[in-house]
Structure 1
Amino acid sequence: MTTPQLDADAAYAGPAPRHSERLCRPSGIRSLQLGDTKVTYVPDGAVQLTPRGWLPDTTDDTWAGHPEYLDETGNLAAGIGGLLVERGERALLIDAGFGPQSLPAEPGNAHGAIHGGALLDNLAAVGRAPQDIEAVAFTHLHIDHLGWAWHPAPGTDRRVFSRADYLVAEPEWAQRQLLQAHGTTGDMLEALAPHVRTVTDGQEIFPGLRVRFVPGHTPGHAAYVLSVGGQRLIAFGDAMHSPIQVAHPEWSAAPDHDRARAADFRRRLIAELAEPGTVGFGIHFADVVFGQVRQGENGRPVWQPVDTWPGSAA
């Protein structure tokens, strides 16, 4: 795969022509190298998010002024997948996509059509088999993050990640019954349960990778912070769903469990992502999943896509 190159330190005042088309399509496979650790977005599928339904504090004027975020159907294009973290022979996956299933758009839903199924093929494309994964670390237990962890391997009754522990933040697992209102069924949780290992705030789960509790989207939502040699990547899960929220952290998503706490974390997260040597990973961020926060022309922070780690070789 050929990865397009961008100047990671260039000033970015908004969606310039060179990458505005990326804001309205899901991402393909994208990788960054941080020291001896490689991180790769592994797509599973995509979901359409209705702009006013998903971000209910926005208006028609908001989207009339920012059509670059909308696909040809008028929805926000959001990817679904996982983040592969590799160091030498070791491999961990953050989130597990939607799995081999599709759901159509339904009137009244904040999301439109959603589909998955590509994660295993894309893992193979980057040279990894499911049995290579030593752990699957979940940001939270919504269905678009659990898919391949509870679905059996195609054509079998066995689980896909046969060697993996399932790492879940302690408060998320303790309050898992609250997630059934968002489609996470008892059968899904029962399939996960024998393999779940709960993790604590600040715990290191892989070399250089630590858990950070960030409740708001769900009661026990977690981010994962990878630190190597004074640089770091923050995989922030569903703390944000679209790059437009970087300029508007007050805009919470419709399914956020605690909208005030979610907004408070976004403000702190955006400040961190503006710090030197820090890159963010937004799993649903269209085709700009890796990025930094920079100041835009209007003084508001904006998301600058990053395709090579700042200061590192391509």
Structure 2
Amino acid sequence: MRHAAPSGRRTSGIPAWGVGDITVHRIDETVLPPETGPWLLPAATGEVVGREAWLVPDFADGRGVLRLASHSFALVAGGMRVLVDTGIGNGKPRANPAWHDLDTDYLHRLDRAGFPPESVDLVVLTHLHTDHVGWNTRADSGAWVPTFPNARYLASRTEWDFWAGHDMDGARRQMFRDSVHPIREAGLLDLVDVRDEAVGIAPGLRLLPTPGHTPGHVSVELRSRTETALITGDCIHHPVQLPHPGIGSCVDIHPARAEATRRRLLASLAGTGTLLLGTHFPPPTAGRVRPHGDAHRLVPVPPDSCAHDGE
């Protein structure tokens, strides 16, 4: 069944960007604390950040501390109502204090954007890390049940196979128990072979292989009319990595491959007009990749500057 396209976006207060006939809504979950930057991207020191004046004030503060956030993106493509990544989730026991037992109004924001959970057709998981799968499920009578009961959840087969054979610590096993296994046991999880080339999953929607952060990490490409956008997932955590692609995450499983992926991706986007939507970028969240010395920078594109109502 095709649900009505979201309407009233301009009065919903939900940030959105237009990509041809597609409107991409940012569904905010939570701002991540200042301690996140030094932990996640330890090479992004205050000195390094301070050399990139364009990062302040949107992407870093005046002391060189990075700003980061957790959110999803919701859109309609080819008549399908799509959610890309599902954040941290509410009420989940987590080792990271910033993620533990959250109580946010994420589902209310999703509803305000015109995407009540039962209306979502497709959930795309860029990878199977804790802060990207949390709203896969919600608590119901002491059990974790699928938040989006009418949706197919998509993940890379390479990603699934890696974690299935990985010796996980207790915290990650807990995350799989409460946020991944319930959707698989409900028969809602589909695995997609994404190897060396992009794979189409809906009209105007493709999964791009962007490995390194995890072995099966994918990014999401949108195409409509003559316009394109790319949702990063965690192949790029923060705009500081555009001028410094060698800065990697402390949780990259294959750091050298993650860097190679970033360099290749940024070179392919520079000057093309593609809208880059960062899964952890703080507001304004989106921008276009431009040459910057011998590397790149992000030119911000504020919400609503090119968006429209509905599909």
Indicate the TM-score class for this superposition, using the shorter chain for normalisation. Answer: 0.7 to 0.9
> Which consecutive unaligned segments of at least 5 residues does structure 2 have?
1-7
Q: TM (normalized to structure 1)?
A: 0.79
Contact 1:142 1:183 in 2 (8 A): no
User: Secondary structure in 2 aligned to 1:86?
Assistant: strand
**Shift of residue 112 of structure 1?**
6.8
> What is residue 77 of structure 1 aligned with on the other side?
67
> What is residue 41 of structure 1 aligned with on the other side?
26
**Shift of residue 235 of structure 1?**
0.9
Q: Structure 1's 230 and 124: CA in aligned 2 closer, same or farther, altered over 3 A?
A: same
> What is residue 172 of structure 2 aligned with on the other side?
184
Contact 2:229 2:275 in 1 (8 A): yes
The partner residue of 2:300 within 305, 310, 313 is 305
Work out whether 1:142 is the aligned partner of 2:129.
yes
**Shift of residue 79 of structure 1?**
1.4
Give, as a single letter, the amino acid of the residue that structure 2 aligns with 1:136: V
> What is residue 167 of structure 1 aligned with on the other side?
154
> What is residue 227 of structure 2 aligned with on the other side?
231
Q: Structure 1's 251 and 103: CA in aligned 2 closer, same or farther, altered over 3 A?
A: farther
Contact 2:15 2:303 in 1 (8 A): no
Deviates more, 1:180-189 or 1:267-276: 180-189
Work out whether 1:257 is the aligned partner of 2:253.
yes
Q: Structure 1's 59 and 154: CA in aligned 2 closer, same or farther, altered over 3 A?
A: same
Rounded Cα–Cα distance in structure 1 between residues aligned with 2:46 and 2:65: 13
Contact 1:216 1:256 in 2 (8 A): yes
> Which consecutive unaligned segments of at least 5 residues does structure 1 have?
4-27
Contact 1:98 1:116 in 2 (8 A): no
User: Secondary structure in 2 aligned to 1:198?
Assistant: strand
Rounded Cα–Cα distance in structure 2 between residues aligned with 1:212 and 1:291: 19
Q: Which string of whole-angstrom CA distances, capped at 9 and with x for unpartnered residues, describes residues 246-297 of structure 1?
A: 110010110001000100011111112213231111010111311111234x
The partner residue of 1:51 within 5, 14, 37 is 37
Rounded Cα–Cα distance in structure 1 between residues aligned with 2:193 and 2:74: 21
Contact 2:77 2:204 in 1 (8 A): no
Give, as a single letter, the amino acid of the residue that structure 2 aligns with 1:54: L
**Shift of residue 139 of structure 1?**
0.4
> What is residue 120 of structure 2 aligned with on the other side?
133
User: Secondary structure in 1 aligned to 2:298?
Assistant: strand
Rounded Cα–Cα distance in structure 1 between residues aligned with 2:167 and 2:24: 28
Q: Which string of whole-angstrom CA distances, capped at 9 and with x for unpartnered residues, describes residues 39-62 of structure 1?
A: 111111232354333223344522
The partner residue of 2:193 within 193, 200, 203 is 200
Q: Which string of whole-angstrom CA distances, capped at 9 and with x for unpartnered residues, describes residues 5-24 of structure 1?
A: xxxxxxxxxxxxxxxxxxxx
Rounded Cα–Cα distance in structure 2 between residues aligned with 1:304 and 1:293: 6
Rounded Cα–Cα distance in structure 2 between residues aligned with 1:97 and 1:234: 18
Give, as a single letter, the amino acid of the residue that structure 2 aligns with 1:196: L
Work out whether 1:30 is the aligned partner of 2:15.
yes
Q: Number of aligned residue pairs: give it.
A: 284
Work out whether 1:90 is the aligned partner of 2:80.
yes
> What is residue 212 of structure 2 aligned with on the other side?
216
> What is residue 247 of structure 1 aligned with on the other side?
243
User: Secondary structure in 1 aligned to 2:98?
Assistant: strand
Rounded Cα–Cα distance in structure 1 between residues aligned with 2:15 and 2:284: 9
User: Secondary structure in 2 aligned to 1:144?
Assistant: helix
Contact 1:42 1:82 in 2 (8 A): yes
Rounded Cα–Cα distance in structure 2 between residues aligned with 1:280 and 1:243: 10
> What is residue 4 of structure 2 aligned with on the other side?
none
Rounded Cα–Cα distance in structure 1 between residues aligned with 2:17 and 2:132: 21
Q: Structure 1's 276 and 249: CA in aligned 2 closer, same or farther, altered over 3 A?
A: same
Deviates more, 1:84-93 or 1:193-202: 84-93
> What is residue 90 of structure 2 aligned with on the other side?
100
- Over the residues paired in the alignment, what is the CA RMSD in angstroms? 3.2
